[in-house]
């Protein structure tokens, strides 16, 4: 197959994670992505550590295969210098607080007047309207306010910091890509562009569908550690092994639960977990603690029990399964070195056959700007 987004041009005004990852996904599917950055420093993520070449590895991973234009958006004539790119763009992606792009002369109204076919996607924490639109916040704040963080709990009852930036990626990046593709499809039908309002905090609620269902339909507000997927069931839990490793056990369905109980040696009287879930969970925990992680791995091998030894990241990268899938087969080039490129959820059939690519130096694409006076 050919790349489905080949020939599309994306102007990316965003920084840090949600927007840059969204434009990376579009780039991997063939779009030309031009990153608009401030002169001198560029995207703040360039300054992070550890380094990979001249910039941070974080920046390099998220901006593979893009181009960079360095321009002071507040400078006189900046909009005029961007005019050729605006006229030729299919998508504009931005991540400023509401109203900032309008003040710069780059809001949807101004740009769509020049380019009516433009898809204009704004990613923000709280959306384009509402009482919290101007509040400074990050991923942790979004999941805290949406109630997701409150559903997690450690042994002391305090919420646990998740190891993933859920709101940024699941609430920002992925909905942005999804809606950009929907808008492009609508443009194919109508010939008109559109404005997209992607609010990260809003989109967190989708991931708590079961909790919302319990609350709205049955008046049962979920509690951390007390529900099916928050630790309340012995069939969906984490158990410590004899060597202080952990087993992620998810034998939810009865057929898997029956096999699990057989392998682990759960006594008949404890297998009815509906009668006393806490007692069954304690029984399973005591049994799992009798053997090592490798011992349980061997026992579970070939049995349908939906159980996994909790891997370290290093172990996951060494997995024969992920190696066979080839998800780290593409490389990121920089400073004479190469590391594995960031895997993205784009089918290989839609990606470029070239496996190696670099990331842009700040301002390397300034030849794309219209001529102007003074510094960019």
Secondary structure in 3-state letters for 281-305? HHHHHHHHCCCCHHHHHHHHCCCCC
Q: Please tell me which residue in 80, 138, 197, 291 is annotated as part of the active site.
A: 138
pLDDT at residue number 374: 45
My answer on whether 195 and 300 are in the same domain is no
List the domain range (segments joined by +) for residue 95.
9-205+327-368
Question: Exactly one of 12, 55, 90, 168 is catalytic; which is it?
Answer: 168
| Calculated CA dihedral for residues 210, 211, 214, 215, nearest 10 degrees | -150
The pLDDT tens digits of the residues spanning 87-128 come to: 999 999 999 999 999 999 999 999 999 999 999 999 999 999
343 and 302, same structural domain?
Answer: no
- Nearest by Cα to 277 from 235, 238, 239: 235
What local confidence, expressed as pLDDT, does residue 373 receive?
54
Tens of pLDDT, residue by residue over 227-239, are 999 999 999 999 9
What pLDDT score was predicted for residue 179? 98
Rounded-to-integer distance, Cα 87 and Cα 370, Å: 12
Distance CA(360)–CA(23), nearest Å, equals 14
Residues 155 and 298 in one domain: no
Question: Residues in the chain with pLDDT < 50?
Answer: 374-375
Q: Is 129 a catalytic residue?
A: no
The answer to pTM > 0.75 is yes
User: Is residue 138 annotated as part of the catalytic site, yes or no?
Assistant: yes
- Residue 104 located in a structural domain: yes
What is the pLDDT at residue 154?
83
Based on the fold, state whether residues 91 and 146 are members of the same structural domain: yes
- The contacts of residue 105 (CB under 8 Å, 6+ apart) are 78, 79
Q: Do 119 and 29 fall within a single domain?
A: yes
């Amino acid at each position: 197959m050919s790349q489905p987004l080949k020939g599309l041009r994306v102007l990316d005004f965003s920084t840090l994670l949600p927007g840059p990852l969204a434009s990376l996904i579009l780039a991997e599917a063939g779009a030309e992505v031009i990153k608009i950055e401030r002169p001198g420093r560029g995207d703040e993520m360039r300054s992070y550590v550890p380094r990979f070449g001249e910039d941070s590895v974080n920046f390099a991973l998220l901006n593979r295969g893009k181009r960079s234009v360095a321009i002071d958006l507040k400078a006189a004539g900046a909009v005029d210098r961007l005019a050729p790119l605006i006229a030729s763009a299919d998508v504009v992606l931005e991540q400023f607080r509401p109203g900032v792009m309008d003040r710069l002369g780059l809001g949807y109204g101004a740009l769509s007047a020049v380019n009516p076919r433009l898809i204009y996607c704004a990613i923000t924490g709280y959306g384009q309207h509402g009482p919290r639109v101007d509040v400074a916040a990050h991923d942790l704040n979004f999941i805290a306010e949406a109630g997701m963080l409150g559903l997690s709990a450690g042994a002391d009852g305090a919420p646990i910091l998740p190891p993933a930036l859920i709101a940024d990626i699941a609430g920002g990046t992925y909905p942005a890509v999804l809606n950009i593709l929907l808008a492009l499809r609508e443009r194919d039908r109508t010939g008109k562009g559109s404005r997209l309002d992607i609010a990260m905090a809003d989109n967190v609620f989708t991931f708590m569908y079961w909790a919302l269902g319990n609350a709205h339909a049955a008046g049962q507000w979920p509690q951390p550690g007390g529900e099916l997927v928050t630790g309340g069931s012995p069939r969906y839990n984490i158990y410590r092994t004899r060597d202080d490793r952990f087993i992620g056990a998810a034998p939810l369905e009865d057929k898997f639960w029956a096999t699990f109980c057989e392998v682990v040696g759960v006594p008949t009287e404890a297998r009815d977990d509906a009668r006393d879930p806490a007692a069954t969970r304690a029984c399973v925990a005591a049994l799992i603690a009798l053997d090592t992680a490798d011992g349980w791995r061997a026992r579970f091998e070939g049995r349908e029990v939906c159980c996994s030894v909790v891997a370290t990241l290093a172990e996951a990268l060494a997995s024969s399964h992920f190696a066979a899938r080839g998800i780290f087969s593409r490389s990121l080039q920089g400073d004479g070195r190469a590391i594995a490129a960031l895997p993205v959820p784009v089918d290989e059939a839609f990606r470029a056959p070239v496996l190696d690519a670099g990331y842009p130096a700040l301002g390397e694409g300034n030849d794309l700007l219209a001529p102007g006076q003074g510094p960019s």
